[in-house]
Structure 1
Amino acid sequence: MVLIQVPSCITTSGITNELCMESGNILFTAPLTLDSSKINECQQLVLLAREKRLLFGDSNKEIEKWNGVNDFCQTLDNIVEIQKETKLFEGKRMLEIGFTTALPSIYALQHGAKDITVVIPTEEALKTHIESTFFQNNANERVTYIIGDVDDLTRKVGGEKFDIILAPEIVYTKQRHFEKIHNAFEFLLASDGLILMSGRTHYHNCDGNMSSMIDLIKRKNHFDIMDQTSRSHSRYETAPRKIVQIMHK
């Protein structure tokens, strides 16, 4: 799936899209059109300047985050289909946090996850596209929604622990929030669990990035880190998107 910047397509109602992967396709609802077959040749040229926009300005944060979710889901598919970790999600209790779209959750549920909790920043996001995505994939019965952010997340989940935490684009925020994110990871992750998170090594419009988060994790020395980035995600980019797996030491 190719995600193109088409600002005029952003709406307050959901638009049906399809994520295509080796293991199959997922229908999902987004607040904008993400189907490259619906754009013209001039708009295709925008792809060639994406890296320049990311580094020097003129990028759309919403589009960039959806690009990140696409890469994140392709990595999940690579882990399961290519690395043959076919039981990675089987019977697991899951949490989706960061830029939440329901797509990583749907993938996990389709591959055996027991249930999932999704942290959503606003009621509008839930009603506009997230609920619809779960409904389209017949997965709404195994989902718990939490409206909020990392500040009050530990209180809202009580003492619940999660086997796998999916955190696409969670570093696309201000660095001052990183300490809280790290603390939440420590509190929420089961002792033998793992976290998959993604983000670029640099954003032109935000001081948070994956490099800074990895530095913080190493300083704290509470987690081990494994790089899960596909070569295709980073080969030609100056500020590549990294996808890493972290686990309790």
Structure 2
Amino acid sequence: MVLIQTPSFISTSAIINELCMEFRNISYIAPIILDSTKTNESQQLVHLAREKRLLFGDSNKEIEKWNGVKDFCQALDNIVEIQKETTLFKGKKVLEIGFATGLPSIYALEHGAKDATIVYSSEEAFKTYIEPTMSQNNANERVTYIFGDFENILTKMQNQKFDVIFAPEIVYTKQKNFEKIHEILKSLLAFNGLILISGRTHYHNCDGNLSSMIDMVKRKNQFDSIDRTPGSLYKYETAPRKIVQIMHK
């Protein structure tokens, strides 16, 4: 069951670029450009087609997940800079899981996180995107990389607990996987920790979505949840992307 969605690998050279936020820019290595002022979705599709296609999934889905990471980082920046939660990551152990790119972990490390663990499921993506992105930001010394999936992740974690868990686009999967996602996140989260999870309220090509995940969280009644979506993400869309904070009750 592949629930940890590492970026897909493209056989040709990746793009070096910057993720531009209101208060911070992060250099990253990726198959696409996240700055929408430089390119649009049609241009992204042309670029990906020119690179022969991704090995896994379709181009539209890959763009959707990368743009989800962009929105996720914008939300982090909003929480720290606009809402003034400047010590949110200070001294914290961070886990990045789901669609792992390293970008949220870099943001946390630059805002005081003690260390970060990134879980990935593709060696090619790790070598092509994740590790080079961390090197580009001089972050490798404080990062642990774990190759795995939700089938074996608890064993590999060896009872570790994390103060902050980033789970971008983790709901972009089948709803039948949500029980396992809930179980794993509950096991990995420290008592006073928090999870930041993102996703759209609906996906046209997948029955999983953030609304369904939050409904399940409420039914199980083991977590509290808070909407942390910044105002800049409230666009005129039928299925907007949201960022939600989840904590133990």
**TM range, normalised to the smaller chain?**
0.7 to 0.9
Match of 2:77, SS state, is helix
Q: Cα 1:39–1:214, aligned 2, differ >3 Å: closer, same or farther? A: closer
* Residue in 2 that maps onto 1:97: 97
| 1:34 Cα deviation after fit | 3.7
Q: Helix, strand or coil: the match of 1:85?
A: coil
The 8 Å contact of residues 168 and 197 in structure 2, kept in 1 or not, is answered as yes
The amino acid of 2:167's aligned partner reads A
Deviation at 1:242, TM superposition (A): 1.1
More helix by share: 1
Q: Where does structure 2 lack aligned partners over 5 or more consecutive residues?
A: 1-9, 47-57
2:19–2:35 CA contact under 8 A, matched in 1: no
Answer whether contact 1:12 1:31 (CA < 8 A) is retained.
Answer: no
Q: Residues 201 and 115 (structure 1 numbering): CA distance in 2 closer, same or farther, change over 3 Å?
A: same
Aligned residue for 1:71? 71
Aligned to 2:49: none
Determine if the alignment matches structure 1 residue 30 to structure 2 residue 16.
Answer: no
3-state DSSP class of the match of 1:60? helix
Deviation (angstroms), 1:149: 1.5
Deviations 1:59-103 (CA, angstroms, capped at 9, x unpaired): 700000011000000000000000000000000000000101100
Matched, 1:80 2:94: no
CA distance in 1, matches of 2:35, 2:245: 29
Aligned pair in 2 of structure 1 residues 83, 34: CA closer, same or farther (>3 Å)? closer
- Do the aligned partners of residues 226 and 133 (structure 1) sit closer, same or farther apart at CA in structure 2, a change above 3 Å counting? same
Instruction: String of CA shifts for 1:190-245, please: whole Å, max 9, x gaps.
Output: 00000000000000111100011001101110000000012221231100101000
Alpha-carbon distance in 2 for matches of 1:68, 1:224: 23
Opposite residue 153 of structure 1, the aligned amino acid is I
Q: Is the 8 A contact 1:11 1:32 kept in 2?
A: no
Partner of residue 3, structure 1: none
Retained in 2: the 8 A contact 1:117–1:145?
A: yes
CA–CA distance in structure 1, aligned partners of residues 64 and 188 of structure 2 = 27
- For 1:209, give the aligned amino acid: N
Deviation at 1:134, TM superposition (A): 0.4
Aligned equivalents of 1:113 and 1:107: distance in 2? Answer: 9
Cα pair distance change 1:12/1:187, threshold 3 Å: farther
Partner of residue 192, structure 1: 192
Q: Indicate how the Cα distance of structure 1 residues 41 and 142 shifts in structure 2: closer, same or farther if over 3 A, else same.
A: closer
Q: What does 1:83-232 align with in structure 2 at a 5 Å threshold?
A: 83-232=83-232
Q: Report how many residues are paired.
A: 228
What TM-score, normalized by structure 1, do the two folds share? 0.87
Question: Residue 151 of structure 1: CA displacement?
Answer: 1.9
Amino acid at match of 2:99: F
Amino acid at match of 1:76: L
**Which amino acid counterpart does residue 205 of structure 2 have in structure 1?**
N
Give the aligned partner of residue 7 of structure 1. Answer: none
Match of 1:55 in 2: none
SS in 2 for 1:203: coil
Secondary structure of the residue aligned to 2:28 is: strand
Give the Å deviation of 1:186.
0.9
Q: Distance in 2 between matches of 1:149 and 1:31?
A: 22
Q: Which runs of 5+ in 1 are unaligned?
A: 1-9, 47-57
